[in-house]
Amino acid sequence: MLIENYKGIVEYDEEKIKIKTKNGLIELEGNNFLITYLTDEEIKISGQIKKIKY
Residue 46 CA to residue 23 CA, distance in Å, equals 22
What tens digit of pLDDT does each residue of 20-51 get? 998 899 999 999 999 999 999 999 999 999 99
Output the pLDDT for position 22: 87
Find out whether 45 and 34 touch, Cβ atoms under 8 Å: yes
Output the pLDDT for position 46: 97
All structural domains of the chain, each given as residue ranges with its CATH number in brackets, are: 2-53 (2.60.40.2000)
